[in-house]
Amino acid sequence: MSAMLLNKEKWPEFIGKLAGKNLWAPQAEGDAMHFAQVKEGETPGLDFGNTRVPPKKFIFPQTETMYRFQLGGTNIEEPVIDDEVVVLGIRPCDARANKIIEKLFKWDVDDPYFLARQEKVTLIGLTCTEPGLNCFCPSVGGGPASTDGLDILITDLGENYYLEALTNKGEKLLGEAGDLMVEDKGDGAKAKEKLVAAAEKKINRTVDTKGIPEGLPGLWEDPLWKRVSASCLGCGTCTYLCPTCHCFDIQDEIEGFDARRCRMWDSCMFEEYTLHTSGHNPRPTRRERTRNRINHKYNYYVDKFDVIACVGCGRCINLCPVNIDIVEILRQVKEAL
């Protein structure tokens, strides 16, 4: 695949070529960045921290209609998922998260909704040259310039952007803007390498995950779960903002005779998540729910799919209202092994 250099003076023209493709990019909303559709004439920049909410909605919407039906009828109307989307400025950790949850949605039965949306999305990533305070992606298999899940990776070299096509989809998209760029002769690659090495040194938080997946079952009744969950409010922020969390509920919504079956994000940190019809709840307190959350990411998912279901983006640490820190929890797990 090719690597190209784009002078920043031509950035508005580059965006103009993408603008007709249902382009989404991070944009400021209050004091946070959120992915929003780029309107005609807008030129989003790439000088920003990561978004507050991960962009998993493009392949796994927060609420999604599975089909519509009429009460008393037997016909169902399935949604047509055919809108192409280009997502600009997604961070490598978030793109990698999509590939991690893909393993679940392609597991025993292919999920048609997830796979159809994934096919329609082109992901243009941005190398993290200024990692966040609580980022720890290298500890869980990623990195500031990880390419897993991306179609194109952009690295800010100062005067130029360095663009790498990583898939045929990415190659095709760059080809449409080829008149704006010049082929890199190697200097861009070297400059990127130095920036990535410097970015890796800026990541101060680390987790030694060796032995954690294998050791977690032996800590089932360990007192650490009560300790680390003591301050938890059960608000679910950690799961809703996690790019790899993928739990959902399915409900029927009815208005008159019109109805739809839909699914929406859910959280294993909610008490009713595992509440049985009988009234029994196998995870009655936040101790059990916190234990499940950590085991799911660092044991169950590893056992099933051979990958940790955490990309080290740090959102659950940054935005927990009571400062629960997953890195600290894992440190205590390591000590207890």
Confidence of residue 200 (pLDDT cuts 50, 70, 90): very high
Res 83: pLDDT: 86
Contacts of 14 (CB under 8 A, 6+ apart): 6, 177, 180
> Does the structure show a pLDDT above 80 at 306?
yes
Distance, CA of 111 to CA of 95 (rounded, Å): 19
Q: Is the dihedral angle over the CA atoms 34, 38, 42, 46 positive or is it negative?
A: positive
Contacts of 140 (CB under 8 A, 6+ apart): 207, 209, 308, 310, 311, 312
As a whole number, mean pLDDT of residues 199-203 equals 96
Residue 176, helix vs strand vs coil: helix
Res 1: pLDDT: 65
> Does the structure show a pLDDT above 90 at 31?
no
Res 244: pLDDT: 98
> Does the structure show a pLDDT above 80 at 2?
no
> Does the structure show a pLDDT above 90 at 30?
no
Res 20: pLDDT: 82
Distance, CA of 333 to CA of 140 (rounded, Å): 15
How deeply is 61 buried, as exposed, middle or buried, from its count of CB atoms within 10 A (0-12, 13-18, 19+)?
middle
The 10s digit of each residue's pLDDT in 75-101 is: 999 999 888 999 999 999 999 999 999
The 10s digit of each residue's pLDDT in 220-265 is: 999 999 999 999 999 999 999 999 999 999 999 999 999 999 999 9
As a whole number, mean pLDDT of residues 159-177 equals 94
CB atoms within 10 A of CB 116: 14
As a whole number, mean pLDDT of residues 141-153 equals 97
- Looking at the chain, the whole-number percentage of residues with pLDDT higher than 90 is 91
> Does the structure show a pLDDT above 70 at 193?
yes
